[in-house]
Amino acid sequence: MTPDRTYFSAAWAVAWRYLHNLYTKPAVFVPGLIFPLFFLAAFAGGLSAVGDTPRFDYYNFTAFQFCFILIQASALAGVFVGFSIAGDFEQGMGRRMMLATSRRSSILLGYALGAALRLIVVWVIITGVSLLAGMEVRATGYDLAGMYTLGLLSNVVALLFSAGIAFRFRSLQAGPLMQMPVFIALFLAPVYVPQELLTGWIEPVARLNPVTALLNGARSLMAGDPTGILLAYGVAFGLIALLALWALRGLRRAEVAG
């Protein structure tokens, strides 16, 4: 096999193992699916009256919340992969994977591939449930592709962040360190109302929060009125570039630690 083929075949093996573990252990797969559905029900169902407040000009409250759930579910799917990496290293599997691959970044690529494939299932389910709950879609096919791509990029951002922590700590005890910052960043964005309606301390925080750009971009695409898309993609790719360095340096530390 050529070096490139070896690299991708190692990545594919890691992805396959991850997906196999995921779908044969419901306790691992189900929480990642249940949490977004739960938030969708709680927000789109319980807060729909918020859509009637003055100056709330988004066309459909379920669609408004769906965009948040899409970004949230995508990001949390990335975090859950971080848990798997930490678990694999804790049990010694990570070390064996390192011995089996010549270029270790293929391990990270494999987990990322697995996360992306897992995400498709999550997307299908939350989209189906939202449509059943009365979500109206105004996006064109291109807009939808752009919106789901933002979801995928959110997934990669969260995955690289969590992987960086997982490679450094190599223990599931680092789980809260992966989950909490992502959870906090998500909830410091305009979750319940458009950014213009935020007041008080959360308004400047949301303005500076990179998740806000992703969320606003996704919502505008869903409404078929794309605005701030360059900013959203710029923020996503900028974070990916920074966090790829973070994750790869973490991988290097894991290699050094043996």
Footprint of another protein (CB under 8 A): 31, 34, 38, 41-42, 45-50, 52-56, 176, 184, 187-188, 190-193, 197-203
Of the two residues 181 and 234, which places its CB atom closer to another protein in the complex?
181
The distance of closest approach from Cβ of residue 49 to another protein in the complex, given in angstroms and rounded to an integer, is 5
Cα distance between residue 254 and residue 223, in whole Å: 44
Of the two residues 30 and 145, which places its CB atom closer to another protein in the complex?
30
How would you write 108-157 as a 3-class SS string?
A: HHHHHHHHHHHHHHHHHHHHHHHHHCCCCCCCCHHHHHHHHHHHHHHHHH
The distance of closest approach from Cβ of residue 52 to another protein in the complex, given in angstroms and rounded to an integer, is 7
Of the two residues 86 and 108, which places its CB atom closer to another protein in the complex?
86
Question: 93: which residues sit within 8 A by CB, 6+ positions away?
Answer: none
Of the two residues 45 and 238, which places its CB atom closer to another protein in the complex?
45
Of the two residues 183 and 246, which places its CB atom closer to another protein in the complex?
183
Of the two residues 101 and 179, which places its CB atom closer to another protein in the complex?
179
The distance of closest approach from Cβ of residue 258 to another protein in the complex, given in angstroms and rounded to an integer, is 29
The distance of closest approach from Cβ of residue 237 to another protein in the complex, given in angstroms and rounded to an integer, is 27
Of the two residues 36 and 226, which places its CB atom closer to another protein in the complex?
36
The distance of closest approach from Cβ of residue 177 to another protein in the complex, given in angstroms and rounded to an integer, is 12
The distance of closest approach from Cβ of residue 47 to another protein in the complex, given in angstroms and rounded to an integer, is 6
Tokens 């252990």 identify what position? 25
The distance of closest approach from Cβ of residue 100 to another protein in the complex, given in angstroms and rounded to an integer, is 31
DSSP code per residue over the chain: --HHHHHHHHHHHHHHHHHHHHHH-HHHHHHHHHHHHHHHIIIIIHTGGGGGSTT---S-HHHHHHHHHHHHHHHHHHHHHHHHHHHHHHTTHHHHHHHH-SSTHHHHHHHHHHHHHHHHHHHHHHHHHHHHTT------HHHHHHHHHHHHHHHHHHHHHHHHHHHHH-SGGGHHHHHHHHHHHHHTS--SS-GGG--TTHHHHHHH-HHHHHHHHHHHHHTT---SHHHHHHHHHHHHHHHHHHHHHHHHHHHHH-
